[in-house]
Amino acid sequence: MTFTIPIDNGDSVKNAEADSQRTLYPYVTGTSIVAIKYKDGVLMASDMGGSYGSTLRYKNIERMKAIGKHSLLGASGEISDFQEILRYLDELVLNDNMWDDGNSLGPKEVHNYLTRVMYNRRNKFNPLWNTLVLGGVKNGESYLGMVSMIGVSFEDNHVATGFGNHLARPILRDEWHADLSFEDGVKLLEKCMRVLLYRDRSAINKLQIAKITEEGVTVSQPYSLNTFWEFKAFHNPTAGAEGSW
């Protein structure tokens, strides 16, 4: 996808700054986020990688953050845009807290605010290059939604971004059911993350799982999944073609 209509700062032949006014392509990106609703709230998983094109450059990026008391935001796509969104939300939550009136922004409000932000940026041909996953619990009700960089927004019982859409969601469609226990939820997410680890070249084996319930947000310490590489076909890979690698 390219955004080819420039902001009016003259043409980019004579004015080198014209194109640098808006996002053209992402630079440092995070890969999939997978999230599901479960018995007590929402579970979300992401790895800690930041790719610089095809190089896996950064390996300690937290792509899931708590927002206020009731929400958890996960992002894939451009990391710097994610940080910018966190700054917007920080201000939003701060102003909400300053009212000091016992009311607080719930996940539905945050999700809709983000939808407005993403859609308005898209309309200016200067998008925030992210797909965001917003989960939360307020007053006993779980909420899980997603917003893309072009402002497409919806809620569902399970969501995934990027490669997760293609590899994780089919698993979730088959195996997700309402009122999953915490252990079953984590097992399900790990199953999805393992498939992504095998098949998504921008995934790394260092992931976090975050949980949000009525009590609040907890993000796990990073850990790795067990993988299996001892398939017979991997033992002598060049058996059928001597001299190749």
Partner 1 sequence: MFRNQYDTDVTTWSPTGRLFQVEYAMEAVKQGSAAIGLRSRSHVVLACVNKAQSELSSHQKKIFKVDDHIGVAIAGLTADGRVLSRYMRSEAINHSFTYESPLHVGRLVVHLADKAQVCTQRSWKRPYGVGLLVGGLDESGAHLYYNCPSGNYFEYQAFAIGSRSQAAKTYLERRFESFGDSSREDLIKDAILAVRETLQGETLKSSLCTVSVLGVGEPFHFLDQETIQKVIDTFEKVPEDEEGEAGEGEAEAAAAAPAEQGGGGAGVGEPFHFLDQETIQKVIDTFEKVPEDEEGEAGEGEAEAAAAAPAEQGGGGAGDQDVAPMEM
Q: Minimum CB separation from partner 1 for residue 102, in Å?
A: 6
- Residue located via tokens 């605010």: 113
Nearer to partner 1, 134 or 209 (CB): 134
Q: In what order do the strands lie in the sheet with 216-219?
A: 158-160, 33-38, 41-47, 207-213, 216-219
Decide whether 45 or 89 has the Cβ nearer to partner 1: 89
* 3 contacts 22 by C-beta, under 8 angstroms: yes
Report yes or no: 244 and 236 within 8 Å, Cβ to Cβ. no
Q: Is residue 23 flagged as an active site residue?
A: yes
- Between 27 and 113, whose beta carbon lies closer to partner 1? 113
**Cβ-based nearer residue to partner 1, 80 or 112:** 112
Catalytic-role residue among 23, 29, 31, 131: 23
- 148, 138 in Cβ contact below 8 A? no
Dist. CA 108–CA 37, nearest whole Å: 14
Shortest distance, position 112 Cβ to partner 1, whole Å: 4
d(CA 111, CA 143): 9
Task: Report yes or no: 133 and 107 within 8 Å, Cβ to Cβ.
Answer: no
Select 146 or 167, whichever has its Cβ closest to partner 1.
146
User: CA 65, CA 72: separation in Å to the nearest integer?
Assistant: 6
Q: Which residues bind to partner 1, rule: CB under 8 A?
A: 99, 101-103, 105-106, 108-109, 111-113, 116, 139
In angstroms, the CA 126 to CA 151 distance is 12
- Annotated catalytic sites, by residue? 23
